[in-house]
């Protein structure tokens, strides 16, 4: 039994995430965690809400609530939606936790001791009306590139151009709308990433199995232009982790907090501490996952995230860990994803365009979405959600292939043999050929899953379902029974055991449907099939079962057209 630590990019607290966010990190991480558990491995799967920074303050202000109250409420909302999507986190933490406060301040102190933090005086926008410095995202104005009048001080959402607040035309405060802004001097702390460039470069060179997308982004940041730049790790905000060196004050940094991109990745570690504290377990329990001097040397650590998060997780967070000089676990494999676009454009929170996680669950159960998203995961390039493709995939893969197989064999058995696995008959050449095919395909499925090739895994799983359908169609027990009841009984017994096999193999993708198949087969046996032949004898003759309700209902044209209209949003 191997040990795996899995983290997915932690979502911002400011609202419910859309399907593109889901498939870019949390969902494939859950797929892999479920698969590894199914193979008998020890897994710790962690995630959390990212609760600091400008987005949290702005969202709380818009909601008319204190930021701490807003974050607590939204954490519960996101945790509930994650549960309903079947995301099997061992712990879903909060970056505002006391554990993350202490750990972030600890890392800052260690980096300061190592001479890897420097103080910088810089000019920043100050709102006279609000009596505060304004971080980039607190400033809005007209984009000089495309003319969009709601561009932020860090980036234009419309044309995606990176900006500085001083680039904006007619800048204004996002807090009050005031245009009474002026440039003032302030001091901040910078992490000297440039001093760790060679260490990071050498470390990344050892990751020969990383996706090309991951390494290409990391190398671009390391070598393009002026190379890896030092990065600010503090901000002039009220909400966040106060700037301290461990448990000591940091002179000159009073009233400042750590930048969200410094403290957020540290929450991965703090989340494990939250997990043990919530269970009353000793520190040795979380340390064995995160400290290589306490047992984490045999842990394989895998991160899942969208490509926009890659620079922070391949450079900034590793710089924090390496720079601390302490024996913390570094990521072994970083699985990155491209973007999922929506029906000819982009998902847009501000324009209400696209399907968000709560909306998705309001119209269909989670397995419908899990299957489509994972089988169309944007691995090698951006992919696109269209309602036509979604309808076709659900109807063909889930309803026609898997659902129809389960329905046909269970209903036929009930009508001819009752609700028990029938006895009699011997396997013939067709059954031996099926077992050989499935053994080959299950091993291929395992190979793709081990390599975290999500789309190929889905394709192989579907092929496994198809093989059972083709067997059932060619053996035709409804015809065989007219002349050879014993052989028909064997064919039906094979089909019922295929349902149990499909439940075990499909659980990482469609856990609810898998559980329903197991319940119908009256078994809790989810043992992974080492040998398909043995697995297809798991339910013996005489074993009782029940006919399940329809596993997957087909999506009608009327439903598709309604949803397509409902989630179109306001196009710019």
Residue stretches of the annotated binding site for ATP: 349
DSSP state for residue 380 in the 8-state scheme? S
CB 557 within 8 Å of CB 395: no
CA gap 555, 392 in Å, rounded:
8
* CB contact at 8 A, 188 and 256: yes
Contacts of the segment 450-454: beta carbons below 8 A, 24+ positions apart: 452/28, 452/32, 452/302, 452/333, 452/335, 453/379, 454/28, 454/31, 454/374, 454/377, 454/379
Query: The tokens of 7 are what?
Result: 């983290």
3-state secondary structure at position 179: coil
Q: How far apart are CA 398 and CA 88, in angstroms?
A: 22
Looking at residue 1, the DSSP 8-state letter turns out to be -
Q: Would the CA dihedral through 242, 243, 247, 252 be positive or negative?
A: negative
Task: Please enumerate, by residue number, every residue annotated as part of a binding site.
Answer: 143, 146, 156, 159, 349
CA gap 345, 507 in Å, rounded:
32
Residue set of the binding site for Zn(2+): 143, 146, 156, 159
**Residue 255: C-alpha distances to residues 16, 240, 246 (Å):** 30, 10, 16
Please count the residues of the chain.
572
**E-assigned strand segments in 1-148:** 3-8, 42-49, 91-94, 117-127, 132-133, 139-142
User: 378 with 360: CB under 8 angstroms?
Assistant: no
DSSP secondary structure, 455-520, as one string? HHHHHHHHHHHHHHHHHHHHH-HHHHTTT-HHHHHHHHHHHHHHHHHHHHHHTTT-HHHHHHHHHH
Burial 75-99 (b: 16+ CB within 10 A, else e): beebbebbeebbbbbebbbbbbbeb
Residue 128, helix vs strand vs coil: coil
């Amino acid at each position: 039994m191997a040990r795996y630590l899995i983290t997915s990019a932690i979502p911002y607290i400011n609202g419910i995430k859309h399907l593109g966010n889901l498939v870019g990190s949390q969902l494939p991480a859950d797929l892999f965690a479920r698969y590894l558990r199914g193979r008998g491995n020890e897994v710790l799967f962690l995630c959390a809400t990212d609760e600091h920074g400008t987005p949290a303050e702005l969202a709380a202000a818009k909601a008319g609530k204190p930021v701490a109250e807003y974050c607590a409420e939204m954490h519960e909302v996101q945790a509930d939606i994650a549960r309903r999507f079947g995301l099997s986190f061992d712990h879903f933490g909060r970056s505002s936790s006391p554990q993350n406060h202490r750990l972030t301040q600890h890392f800052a102190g260690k980096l300061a001791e190592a001479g890897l933090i420097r103080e910088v005086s810089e000019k920043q926008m100050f709102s006279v009306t609000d009596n505060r410095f304004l971080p980039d995202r607190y400033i809005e104005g007209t984009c000089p590139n495309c003319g969009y009048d709601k561009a932020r001080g860090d980036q234009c959402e419309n044309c995606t151009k990176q900006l500085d607040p001083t680039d904006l035309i007619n800048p204004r405060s996002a807090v009050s709308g005031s245009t009474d802004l002026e440039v003032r001097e302030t001091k901040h702390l910078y992490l000297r990433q440039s001093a760790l460039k060679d260490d990071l470069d050498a470390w990344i060179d050892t990751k020969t199995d990383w996706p090309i997308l991951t390494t290409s982004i990391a190398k671009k940041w390391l070598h393009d232009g002026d190379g890896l730049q030092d990065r600010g790790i503090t901000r002039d905000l009220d909400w966040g982790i106060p700037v301290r060196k461990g448990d000591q004050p940091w002179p000159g940094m009073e009233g400042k907090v750590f930048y969200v991109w410094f403290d957020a990745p540290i929450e991965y570690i703090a989340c494990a501490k939250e997990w043990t504290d919530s269970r009353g377990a000793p520190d040795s329990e979380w340390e064995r996952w995160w400290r290589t001097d306490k047992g984490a040397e045999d842990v394989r650590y895998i991160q899942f995230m969208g490509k926009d998060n890659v620079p922070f997780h391949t450079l900034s967070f590793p710089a924090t860990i390496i720079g601390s000089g302490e024996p913390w676990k570094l990521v072994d494999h970083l699985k990155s994803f491209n973007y999922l676009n929506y029906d000819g454009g982009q998902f847009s929170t501000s324009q209400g365009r696209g399907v968000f996680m709560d909306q998705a669950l309001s119209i269909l159960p989670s397995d419908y979405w899990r299957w489509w998203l994972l089988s169309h995961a944007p691995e090698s390039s951006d992919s696109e959600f269209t309602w036509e493709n979604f309808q076709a995939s659900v109807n063909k893969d889930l309803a026609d292939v898997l659902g129809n197989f389960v329905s046909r064999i269970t209903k036929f058995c009930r009508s001819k043999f009752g609700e028990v696995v029938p006895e009699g008959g011997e396997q013939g050449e067709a059954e031996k050929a099926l077992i050989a095919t499935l053994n080959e395909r299950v091993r291929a499925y395992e190979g793709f899953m081990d390599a975290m090739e999500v789309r190929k895994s889905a394709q192989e799983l579907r092929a496994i379902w198809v093989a059972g359908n083709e067997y059932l169609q060619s053996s035709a027990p409804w015809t065989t029974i007219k002349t050879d009841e014993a052989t028909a009984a064997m064919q039906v017994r094979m089909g019922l055991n295929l349902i149990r096999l499909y439940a075990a193999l499909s659980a990482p993708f469609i856990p609810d449907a898998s559980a329903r198949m197991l319940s119908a087969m009256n078994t809790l046996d989810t043992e992974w099939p080492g040998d398909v032949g043995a697995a297809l004898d798991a339910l013996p003759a005489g074993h009782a079962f029940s006919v399940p309700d329809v596993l997957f209902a087909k999506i009608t044209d009327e439903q598709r057209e309604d949803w397509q209209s409902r989630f179109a949003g306001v196009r710019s």
